[in-house]
Amino acid sequence: MQIAKNTIVTIHYEMFDVDNNLLDKTEEPISYLHGGYDGIFPLVEEALEGKNVGDSVDVKLTADDAFGDPEEELVRVEDLEVFPADVEVGMVFEADDPETGELLLFRVTDIADGKAVVDANHPLAGMSLRFSAKVVEVREASADEISHGHAHGEHGHHH
């Protein structure tokens, strides 16, 4: 079966920076609903269109095509007293965005002088990437998956 709108696509992928350093890869395959449901980067989805099981794609993504540019307003300096005593660089904390009410994940990026710098930008924001993927399964999406806008099951979303 070829990848087309409203198919569930299961892939293994590797993601590299511009110097070809491996940044991320699947241990288990991931599945997404193909056809403009924002389940994967649009340029990767475009490259996968019409492919079959066993086919591979290699896509170069600018920062805009991947995780976007870093947003200054998502970087904050907070007093250390609002954090647990054992706070360390790399820890992640949840906080509500006061403007949107959206839940954000802030990574601690620096600690100095009684303050912590936290950043809710994606860790790969601002980076150009290479996304290499191999198709391991393609199947028709169920009516539920189409109405929910994502894959269900073993390698997809669980309710």
pLDDT in tens, 104-137: 999 999 999 999 999 999 999 999 999 999 999 9
Percent of the chain with pLDDT strictly greater than 90: 89
Rounded Cα gap, residues 71 and 51, in angstroms: 35
CATH of 72-119 among 1.10.240.10, 2.40.10.330, 1.20.1180.10, 2.40.30.170: 2.40.10.330
Q: What is the pLDDT of residue 74?
A: 92
Stretch 41-70: mean pLDDT, rounded?
A: 97
Give the predicted TM-score (pTM) of the model.
0.81
Tell me whether domains 2-66+127-148 and 72-119 share a fold. Answer: no
Domains of the chain, residue spans: 2-66+127-148, 72-119
pLDDT at 95 over 90: no
The answer regarding whether domain 2-66+127-148 maps to CATH 3.10.50.40 reads yes
Q: What is the pLDDT of residue 159?
A: 46
pLDDT, mean over the chain: 93
